Structure 1
Amino acid sequence: MSSATARIDLNADLGEGVGDDAAMLGIVTSANVACGFHAGTPADLLATCRAAVAAGVRIGAQVSYPDRSGFGRRFMEMTTSDLIADLVYQIGALDALARSVGGAVTYVKPHGALYNTVVHHAQQADAVVTAVRNVHPGLAVMGLPGSEILSRASRAGLDTITEAFADRAYTPEGTLVPRGTNGAVLSDSDEIARRVVELVTTGRIGAIDGTRIGVDARSVCLHGDTPGAVEHARAVRAALTAAGIDIGTTPA
């Protein structure tokens, strides 16, 4: 695509009780709001939804394993019925909070270990898709391009939102380099911004081994809980604007 016609959504994980949510809501166009299972209290989530509505930012349910002590970053074996019930509960609760302040949940994004698991794990990917469809078939699912979750969501008739990550390194296979690995999380704002502009304008990004890989993304995640997160996000938005790229939610 050319930069003259490119358009990209910017999203961030909010309502987790870490980072500067108010600043991020002035930068992003989509908010992945925690649902209480890995972080966030009902009062915090309500306040986050209210602030997102005031900022004109769309709301997504950031669903997780029931793992507050591990911030949702530990894999959990769960039966299909238990996982579906947990996810329906989270989506429904956040949607009720959002509707009470004039908003609504419009998409679902798994968090942390669940996000990485449903890239390849068929049983849990099916559970997420079933939960989303059971709550409302008009909800979209956000995830990694080429993942099991997005393939199964598409087959189930759900809209999908392909996502890339501004501050995470990629493997040559197009998956994220695991946290804890040297170089997995990027820290230079200029480099992060340059990578995002390249991604949006060319559909390619550099992998950790130096190769360039294709990444089809309708949205870019700007993590709000890493050191320098707000500065990274501002640099990304400024670089996109300077390149003539529209920032906002994209149609299916």
Structure 2
Amino acid sequence: GAKLDEAQLDGADLANALLTGASLANARLDKADLTGGVQAQGVNFLNASLQGADLTGAQLQLADFSSAALQGAVLNFARLEGAVLRDADLEAASLQQAKLIGTDMTGMKMAGSDLRGAAIWMTAPPVWDTTGLSDLTELAVRAPDEAERAGLQKVMERITDEAMRRRGAEVFGALAEKDSTWAGTIDQQRWQSWVGASPVPPALNYKVDLTTYLTKLMCSARWSNGAVATGVARRAVSAQFRGDVVAVYDNLRSSSCPAAKEAPPKVMKDLSAAAESARY
């Protein structure tokens, strides 16, 4: 429950951290490493900046990301059940296989994001991506099964903070009540219509279009601090990346890219290795 509002944590190594119930409102966590299954249930990230941050596998149930800046953030396998992403900006973010059960994504921007295989149920949908570059293939729009429910309950029971546990019981209790009635709602139908929005395999020009979009974003003057470039680089090293990792690397090393010298050395090293193996 630490109070870390407005903290300057750019590029911080917070891997394996225990942050349950903490307040990081208006904090700066651009490029931060929050991997290793960070425990961040119920954290207040209101208006926080997490551009290019790596939250792979983070436990973010009930976390509040209202109006947060998450451009280029990596949230693959993150647990976001009951979390609030209202009006957050997740442009170019990666949420592969994330659990978005009962997540409020009202007003959330998702242009160029990757939601492949994400679990969706009782999820308020985000703003539709007019660029056509969001990857929504294999979205799992279905009610969680018994094992998934039991797993979520176990996670919530492990929380030592009494108030947080109570809040979890309230939120997930309310979700359970509406569970059976969500099928057929406008929100559910909208998600279902999006499932087929990304053809498999993607259109022939998708790789080029996605790469152009991401490189333009990471090398724009607005992101000269390298935060978005860090996130795009982290996303590009994945074997599942549907853009061109070589082009991402070459663009990021170019002298015409303001973010060229701002990405963390480890991120650049990983990107260099991925680009080299893709080249040959």
Say yes or no: TM over 0.5. Answer: no
Structure with the higher fraction of residues in helix conformation: 1
Quickly name the TM-score band, shorter chain normalised. under 0.3
TM-score using structure 2 length: 0.25
TM-score using structure 1 length: 0.27
